[in-house]
Amino acid sequence: MKLLFTTSECMPYIKTGGLADVAGTLPRALKELCPENEICVMLPKYRRISEEYRFSMRHVFDSRIDLGWRNQYIGVDELKKDGVTYWFVDNEFYFGGDYIYGSGDFETERFCFFCKAVMESLPRLGFMPDVIHCNDWQTGYIPMLIKQYARRPEYAGIKSVFTIHNLRFQGIGSRGLVADLLSVGQEELDRIEYSGCASSMKAGLMYADKITTVSPTYAREILTPEFGETLDCVLRDRAGDLVGILNGISNSMFDPANDRNIPMAYDRDSLIGKRACKEELLMELGLEQDPEKPLIAVISRLTDQKGIDKVRGILPKLLWEGAQAVVLGMGDRDYEDYFAWLQHESPNFEFRCEMNDGLARRIYAGSDMFLMPSVFEPCGLSQLLALRYGSIPIVRETGGLADTVTPYNRFENTGNGFSFSGHSFESFAEVVGLAVGTYYDKPAWEGLVKRAMSADFDWRVSAEKYMLLYSWLR
């Protein structure tokens, strides 16, 4: 089978969020599962991709393509890693800025160009895939273009899968602009219409042969008005083609027994190293060297969607009661300012306003608990990493959080974390209090940590489900 994975970002080359983690790990897992398959990934060649990778690329071809009345340059460069081929679509006008995502009509134009560039590149690359797997709104016009290009014999038979990573972001653009850029007719414009505009997300939902999203619970949630972001009617119409497949992580990439980013290795059978990681982390953060106090962590975008309002509400009480806490992340200015103020006010709290993978791993390894009270969470990777490193997640029961965190039951000695339902702060505060109380019961807590670290969310299981989905389309 030939598979092309299209995405707007991909680790380790460029990242702003979890999509990059998925794009960087799922194709590799698919290749490991079926080595005979040809697996390729295509993404924009952003200026912000580091020189380390840019200078290693091999130029494959350059040409020009029509984009409405425009005739634009297109170049494709190539890297190969772990059996996967990565193609980078080059155009300085669209991707030469010092940013990944923008807004307005130019954002619409950039990713219309990318979608058309994908289709126009295939014959020049000599790679006509069986399935094109598209991810989020930036690639949403590709399934529609596949139907247009299918009139040409070389494109006949290509199928598409469209994955929703976050339904809230929908790629809304001017109808006239999209019609011009992609030579879209009235019938297509009517199908992708959204509040008088055109929606790339809706195009993916309307034209893809199969639709997936990143957890089974989120697949059910988005069929409802509460989580459907006004597209729930469209999704209910296509419910028979919608599948929820849980995102995974790479157990080899995130392994506390072999992670060079943390000061001491450990595994679920020997947690001595985790205590050492906590001691070193307290020193690195400048917090009091008292490993008996619970250390509570947040690694997140600082936005309302992530439930940071609840985190802000609970931290003063936790710190006053003797816990220590660390927040790593960037986001809304109000939250950044508040955590900076709290750091100044409390010696038990540290705020790092940055994105730092090495520090994040040390926080996962050194912390005792991990707060993630998201309003909605399509899948979430942070709770999976917290489980992997034995930092007990405290989550709201939504999306992938509900699918991965099993509530602790002290009577049966089961579960791998703590969770609450609803949206009230009181429910969140109650479950955090339960977790802190359990922390001081050392035998119970050690069992909880070992069960958390025993959870297996490696991409292997999900890759098998994707391969089955692809095979249905052939």
What homologous superfamily does CATH list for 2-248+459-473?
Glycogen Phosphorylase B; (3.40.50.2000)
Exposure class string for 358-384: b at 16+ Cβ within 10 A, else e:
ebbbbbbbbbbbbbbbbbbbbbbbbbb
Average pLDDT over residues 140-147: 97
Cα–Cα distance, 273 to 276 (Å, whole number): 5
Residue-by-residue DSSP string for 207-225:
H-SEEEES-HHHHHHTTST
What digits encode the pLDDT tens for the residues 157-201?
999 999 999 999 999 999 999 999 999 999 999 999 999 999 999
* Mean pLDDT computed over 11-34: 93
Give the separation between CA 388 and CA 254, rounded to whole angstroms.
7
Q: Cβ(381)–Cβ(249) under 8 Å?
A: yes
Q: What is the mean pLDDT of the chain?
A: 96
* 2-248+459-473 and 272-454, same CATH topology: yes
Q: From residue 30, give the alpha-carbon distance in Å to each of 2, 277, 406, 464.
A: 11, 33, 27, 8
Measured at the alpha carbon of residue 139, what is the angle toward residues 138 and 140, in degrees to the nearest 5? 100
Number of H helices and E strands in the chain, helices first, is: 19, 18
Return the domain boundaries, the chain.
Answer: 2-248+459-473, 272-454
Question: What band does 16 get if pLDDT is binned at 50, 70 and 90?
Answer: confident
Contacts of 436 (CB under 8 A, 6+ apart): 294, 318, 321, 323, 369
Angle at alpha carbon of residue 133, lines to 127 and 135, rounded to 5°: 130
The pLDDT score that the predictor gives to residue 268 is 93
Percent above pLDDT 70 for the chain: 100
Main-chain dihedrals φ then ψ at residue 156, nearest 5 degrees: -60, 140
Q: How far apart are CA 270 and CA 272, in angstroms?
A: 6
Report the largest interatomic distance among the alpha carbons of the chain, rounded to a whole angstrom: 70
- Say yes or no to pLDDT of 17 above 90: no
The domain defined by 272-454 folds into Rossmann fold (3.40.50)
Which pLDDT tens digit goes with each residue over 364-416?
999 999 999 999 999 999 999 999 999 999 999 999 999 999 999 999 999 99
